[in-house]
Structures are given as structure tokens and as C-alpha cells.
């Protein structure tokens, strides 16, 4: 299990490093209580066995020997980062997990940058990065920055879903791909598309892409 999560953490380093940079500027911790992120949700006022990891990820550790996870998802659409399974928010869930899994949920309208390396934590985070986009909300722009080891932005991305299309703009000199999680696109301008299970993978040919759903 240690090896599994060490490899996964290495791939998640672009996201973790971006949250660390944001924390250094805002003072808001990377690991934050649920009530800090969802102040209007009264269910979150007393939750002490789960937390937000940055703006986009919810983590619910398991504290019993039976591997039973009990966790609450605030309103909105959520996606399991490991499996891609979709969950409705505003509900409690009880699940049985195995030795190498815990509830790790992605909030709607999120971009999670997954690195190309799984063997070490310090590498070029932007080179070969996969930009995973989850449950984009109609008309709401979402942004993400991938920083290099010198704290300079190596990649910036903006995405917005509107009228049956997703418009994506990326600024970088690095190679990258985009994964639209649980989206099967019809076509794309500025990118080649590949359907991978329930997802669409974009191989960019231009900095500006328009995906038709």
C-alpha cells in the first residue's frame, strides 16, 4: 500500500505543488476543514474525519479495521479520482474499501493536473502533464496553473462549458494532454480526440481548442 500511494502522490505533485504555492500567498492551508470550504453547509460544521485537500479534492480517511468508509459530500457533483465513478452531493455515503483505496473525490468544475512521473516527487511537473477536467459547470470558467520548481508558472489553462461545447485555452511551451472525465466528445477544433472508456483525451494541435459535445 505504501508503494501504491507513493507512486500516486508523485503523479499528483503538480496539483499538490500548486496548492502549496497558493497557501504561501493566501495563508489558507492546503489541508482544510470542511467548514472552511463549505461555510453555508451546516453538515460540514461538525465533520472531523474528512477534509479538503486544496480547492478541488475531498479526502475521507478510514479509521476502522473493517475498511468501512463513511463520508459526506456537499451539494454538487463529485467524481472518484481513482475510478471515475460519479456521486451526487448533499448526501452521506457508506462504502467498503480495499487495502489500496480510500474515498478521494473531485469537486465539480475542477481541473486536476496529473504528472507524467510516478517514481519521484521532484520533476518537471508541466512536461507531459495530463489536465483532467471534471463535471464542468455551464457558463462557469475554471482555471489551473502548473508551476515549475522555481515557483514560476509553466502552464496555465482556462476552460468553460457553454451551449454544447467546451472551450479550452492553454499557455505553455511544454507537451501536455487534456482528459475530459466522463465526457465522450463528438469532435474538436485544435486537437485530435481519442475516446478512452467514458473519457475523451485531447492531443492538442493549438493553444485554443473547442470541443463539441
Quick check: 87 and 95 in contact, CB under 8 A?
A: no
Among positive and negative, which fits the CA dihedral 191, 162, 196, 8?
A: positive
pLDDT value, residue 99: 75
pLDDT value, residue 7: 66
Low-confidence ranges of the chain (pLDDT < 50): 1-4
Per DSSP (E only), the strands in 10-76 are 31-32, 51-53, 57-59, 68-73
Domain 2-107 has CATH 3.40.50.720: no
pLDDT value, residue 119: 87
**Domain at 110-212, CATH homologous superfamily:** Golgi alpha-mannosidase II (2.60.40.1180)
As a whole number of angstroms, the distance between CA 138 and CA 102 comes to 30
Question: Which residue's entry shows cell 481541473?
Answer: 111
As a whole number of angstroms, the distance between CA 172 and CA 175 comes to 8
Angle between helix 2-11 and helix 13-26 axes, rounded to 10 deg:
70
pTM of the entire structure?
0.93
Is it true that 2-107 and 110-212 share their CATH fold? yes
Question: Which residue's entry shows cell 475523451?
Answer: 200
Residue 179 CB neighbour total at 10 angstroms: 19
H/E segment holding residue 36: helix 34-37
As a whole number of angstroms, the distance between CA 213 and CA 185 comes to 5
Domain ranges of the chain: 2-107, 110-212
Amino acid at each position: 500500500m505504501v508503494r501504491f500511494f507513493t507512486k500516486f502522490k508523485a503523479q499528483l505533485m503538480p496539483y499538490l505543488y500548486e496548492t502549496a504555492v497558493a497557501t504561501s500567498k493566501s495563508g489558507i492551508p492546503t489541508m482544510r476543514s470542511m467548514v472552511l470550504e463549505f461555510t453555508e453547509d451546516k453538515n460540514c460544521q461538525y465533520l472531523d474525519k474528512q477534509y479538503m485537500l486544496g480547492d478541488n479534492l475531498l479526502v475521507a480517511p478510514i479509521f476502522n479495521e473493517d475498511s468501512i468508509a463513511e463520508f459526506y459530500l456537499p451539494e454538487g457533483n463529485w467524481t472518484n479520482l481513482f475510478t471515475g465513478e460519479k456521486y451526487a452531493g448533499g448526501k452521506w455515503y457508506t462504502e467498503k474499501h480495499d487495502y489500496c483505496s480510500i474515498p478521494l473525490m473531485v469537486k465539480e468544475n475542477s481541473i486536476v493536473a496529473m504528472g507524467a512521473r510516478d517514481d519521484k516527487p521532484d520533476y518537471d511537473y508541466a512536461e507531459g502533464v495530463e489536465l483532467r477536467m471534471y463535471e464542468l459547470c455551464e457558463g462557469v470558467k475554471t482555471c489551473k496553473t502548473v508551476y515549475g520548481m522555481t515557483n514560476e508558472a509553466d502552464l496555465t489553462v482556462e476552460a468553460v462549458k457553454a451551449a454544447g461545447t467546451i472551450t479550452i485555452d492553454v499557455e505553455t511551451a511544454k507537451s501536455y494532454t487534456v482528459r475530459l472525465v466522463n465526457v465522450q466528445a463528438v469532435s474538436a477544433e485544435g486537437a485530435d480526440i481519442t475516446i478512452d472508456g467514458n473519457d475523451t483525451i485531447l492531443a492538442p494541435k493549438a493553444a485554443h481548442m473547442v470541443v463539441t459535445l
